[in-house]
Amino acid sequence: MSPGGFASGGDVTGVHPAWLPPEAMRPIGARTVSVHGDGLDTVRAEVRQACDRHGGAVVAGGADLVLTLSGVDTGPDGFVVSRDGVVTTVAAEDPAGLLYGLFHVARVGEAAFGAPHPPGTHRPAHGRRMLDHWDNVDVHPVMGQVERGYSGGSLFWDGGALRADLTRVTAYARLLAACGVNAVTVNNVNVHATETLLLTDRLADIATIADLLRPYHIRMHLAVNFAAPVADLGTADPLDARVQAWWATATDGVYAAIPDFGGYVVKADSEGQPGPYGYGRDHADGANALAAALAPHGGVVHWRAFVYDHRQDWRDRTTDRARAAYEHFAPLDGRFLGNVIVQVKHGPIDFQVREPVSPLIAAMPATDVAVEVQVTQEYTGQQRHVCYLAPMWSEVLRTIRTAGPVGVSNAGDDPFWTGHPLAQANLYAFGRLAWAPDLDPREVLDEWIGLTFPGTPDVVGETLHAVMDDSWRTYEDYTAPLGVGFMVRPGHHYGPDVDGYEYTPWGTYHFADRDGVGVDRTCATGTGFTGQYPPVLARLYESVHDCPDELLLFFHHVPYGHVLHDGGTVIQHIYDTHFAGADAVAAMRDRWAALPADLVGPAFAARVADLLDEQVRGAAEWRDQITAYFFRKSGVRDAHGRRIP
Ligand code: GCV
């Protein structure tokens, strides 16, 4: 198809519909389809629209495609697909499963109507697959409408009010259901004064959004302020019976308005947000107070473990931000109520391009843990750089079994949804990996391409793979050598500033001097962070010889002449990767420029081209600052004699 699918606009005029534009429903809509069961309004509407557009028909029996609610044993959200020769049947035990089955058929396309095959069962790996929006209701003076948002304004809020036109929320819900997401929070975890009222005075706003998400089987969650009871009671002490009663009453009110409400998300004692420490209590006390209020209704609390000292003294070399989450939470394992989920960032610091997996995830066997990843590209190019993140998430999600991943959404009111049109693939991939963590990131990208540009010539897919497959490692090459992170401009976090955070209260990240670079996090001579890992990993990371190269400087401070496993030195690696990374970005731009714009639509093509120009500029800036900085520190010349400013 053409870009005509875009031009025709899908459901929302003027908006590029991302995956599942009307043309992607052709495999279904060009056939006869029968739908059996109750509670299938959304499935029926999807099928009807597809048939209206593509010439098929909704029939009572004798169909090419049968969608049926039946007693199959799939569990929630699962479905079974079979083909007996002339009929493809999708069966599920609940309406959500049948909707996922319908979208599966769209994804598989004509193959769903090919050779006969016995029933194949599809079940999500995780019951809850959640996206958190860091959207402010009021425009925040520093963070704007969406904190760390790079896709325009909020889909839900506009300058203090619920958007007047919520059409795109319905379209967004459809996109999310089509990749498997089934839970959403619609406000920032930094809960400011207005957002605190969502729980009480402005409940009608979130009920309105919940009504729009529900047809696509997406449950509403809400970020709440731990100190919310203070306005009424003067305290938020979680062990105070009046506070517990306050949460019970407020929560009853939420469920009266939203019977299928999912629960609360809480950022407490973190970066200035209030929390239980203010009352001499711990995070189990805090989380349990809210969990007790939710339990009678079947709700859950996602309690974030992102707790660290952001007022540390850079001169104090014993304080290590990486240790913080484990130190605050691991001792609490076993004390949380059953409906508390401790939400842990995938790495021990903060969504950097390269981090080891957080040791806290393995340290709480008696607690439900959710792994949090950042779909919005705060530290990975801010949706001005192409950075396909599925390979990074896949490394974490496929090896760790948890209560389910949480992603920080990258969507906004931008016509392409995600600012950079190619960042749509990150949103899609988050949902797919949350459903099936073992999926190959390249195959997921294939799916996104197939659903977004159905019927286009192979060159579209080849170009997108060439530009995107290795883009995360390319971004790492020119920004974060061997596990050093945070060399970004303070505040907005875009672009290079090697010492930007090095002497601030927020943590210290590279410790470069004239002799060497890296953070000594060993037990033998450093901060002892390696000791937080299970023995096999602790030994691996503790050893400067065995530590994987890509994490060497995360765990060790080494001389610039230290030899890596590939035989090169650390300083030469820094030079080589920065030159190679910037060159790779220039090649990405050339590759994109060679793609005929009409195959993806002129607007899409032009937006990507403009952003690739910025990425080429940005990568060169990174290359020049990083190579110059380390040349000036080390005095070691580039072995290849390239120009270092
Ligand atoms: C919502 C990082 C970001 C903050 C964000 C915080 C968090 O520090 O820079 O904007 O706040 O993470 O995850 O709570």
Indicate if 118 and 241 belong to the same structural domain.
no
Report pLDDT for 472: 98
**Collapsing DSSP states into helix, strand and coil, what is residue 33?**
strand
Same domain as 494, residue 591 = yes
* CB 524, CB 326: distance < 8 Å: no
- Catalytically active residues, by annotation: 271, 350, 378
Phi-psi map region of 272: left, alpha, beta (phi>0 left; psi -120 to 50 alpha): left
Does 165 map to a domain?
Answer: yes
Average pLDDT over residues 310-325: 92
CATH number of residue 29's parent domain: 3.30.379.10
Q: Residue 219 Cα, ligand 1 centroid: separation in angstroms?
A: 23
151 CA to centre of own chain: 14
- Centre of ligand 1 to C-alpha 25, Å, is 38
Put simply, whether the predicted model's pTM sits higher than 0.85 gets the answer yes
Residue 223 lies in a domain: yes
Residue for token digits 């950079």? 420
What mean pLDDT do residues 233-256 have?
98
> Strand, helix or coil at 638?
coil
Give residue 544 CA to ligand 1 midpoint distance, Å.
Answer: 31
Closest CA to 509 of 489, 484, 530, 526: 484
pLDDT band of residue 507 (cuts 50, 70, 90) is confident
- 105 and 220 part of one domain: no
110 and 156 both lie in a single domain: no
Average pLDDT over residues 471-476: 98
- Which residue's alpha carbon is nearest to atom 11 within ligand 1? 190
In this model, does residue 188 exceed pLDDT 80?
yes
Total number of domains in the chain: 3
Residues 583 and 624 in one domain: yes
Q: Is residue 537 part of a domain?
A: no
Residue that finishes a domain, picked among 59, 94, 122: 122
pLDDT tens digit string along 417-444? 999 999 999 999 999 999 999 999 999 9
Tell me, yes or no, whether 138 and 227 share the same domain: yes
Confidence of residue 10 (pLDDT cuts 50, 70, 90): very low
Instruction: Establish if 283 belongs to a structural domain.
Output: yes
Is residue 148 domain-resident? yes
Nearest-CA neighbor of 478 among 301, 599, 297, 624? 624
Of 129, 157, 8, the closest CA to residue 428 belongs to 129
Distance from residue 223's CA to the centre of ligand 1 (Å): 14
DSSP bridge pairs for 516: 559
Range 214-241 average pLDDT: 98
Indicate whether 439 and 498 sit together in one domain: no
The answer for residues whose C-beta is within 8 angstroms of residue 579's C-beta and 6 or more apart is: 623, 627, 642
Instruction: For residue 591, tell me if it sits in a domain.
Output: yes
Residue linked to tokens 């897919």? 461
The verdict on 205 and 151 lying in the same domain is yes
The alpha-helical segments, DSSP class H, found in 165-319 are 167-179, 193-196, 203-213, 230-233, 241-257, 283-294
384 and 275 in one domain?
A: yes
Instruction: Give the pLDDT score at 540.
Output: 98
pLDDT at 4: 29
The whole domain housing 374 covers 130-452
Q: How far apart are CA 527 and CA 512, in angstroms?
A: 16
Q: Is 313 in the same domain as 233?
A: yes
CB 248 within 8 A of CB 256: no
- With vertex at residue 253, the alpha carbon angle to CA 249 and CA 257, rounded to the nearest 5 degrees, is 170
Kindly tell me if the per-residue pLDDT of 464 is higher than 50. yes
- Span 142-171, average pLDDT: 97
The CATH number of whichever domain residue 610 belongs to comes to 3.90.1330.10
- Could you tell me the end-to-end alpha-carbon distance of the chain, in angstroms, rounded to an integer? 47
Q: Mean pLDDT over residues 565-586, rounded?
A: 98
| Atom 3 of ligand 1, nearest CA residue | 148
pLDDT for the residue 11: 52
For residue range 373-419, what is the model confidence (pLDDT) as tens digits?
999 999 999 999 999 999 999 999 998 878 889 999 999 999 999 99
Can you give the CATH number for the domain in which 315 is found? 3.20.20.80
Residues 293 and 341 in one domain: yes
Do the domain assignments include residue 526? no
pLDDT in tens, 47-84: 999 999 999 999 998 899 999 999 899 999 999 999 99
Task: Give the pair of three-digit tokens for residue 542.
Answer: 């503790």
Number of helices and strands in the chain (H, E) = 20, 20
- Atom of ligand 1 at shortest distance to CA of 189? 1
Tens of pLDDT, residue by residue over 261-278, are 999 999 999 999 999 999
Contact, 345 vs 370, CB < 8 A?
A: no
Which pairing describes strands 79-83 and 117-122: parallel, antiparallel, or unpaired?
Answer: antiparallel
Specify whether the CB–CB gap between 135 and 205 falls below 8 A.
Answer: no
Say if residues 301 and 287 touch (Cβ distance below 8 Å).
yes
CA distance 441 to 423: 14
- Pairing label, strands 219-223, 32-36: unpaired
The mean of the pLDDT values for the chain is: 96
Confidence at residue 2, expressed as pLDDT on a 0 to 100 scale: 30
Ligand 1 atom having least distance to the Cα of 270: 14
Tokens of 530: 């390696």
User: Could you identify the residue written with the tokens 């049947």?
Assistant: 89
**What's the pLDDT score for residue 14?**
75
Pocket of ligand 1 (CB under 6 A): 134, 147-148, 189-190, 267, 306, 350, 378
- For residue range 528-556, list pLDDT tens digits in order: 999 999 999 999 999 999 999 999 999 99
Report the range of poorest mean pLDDT among 34-48, 221-235, 500-514. 500-514
Residue 37 lies in a domain: yes
pLDDT given at position 99: 98
Specify whether 296 is located in the same domain as 229.
yes
Choose which residue among 134, 135, 267 to substitute to test ligand 1 binding: the one with the highest number of ligand atoms within 8 A of its C-beta: 134
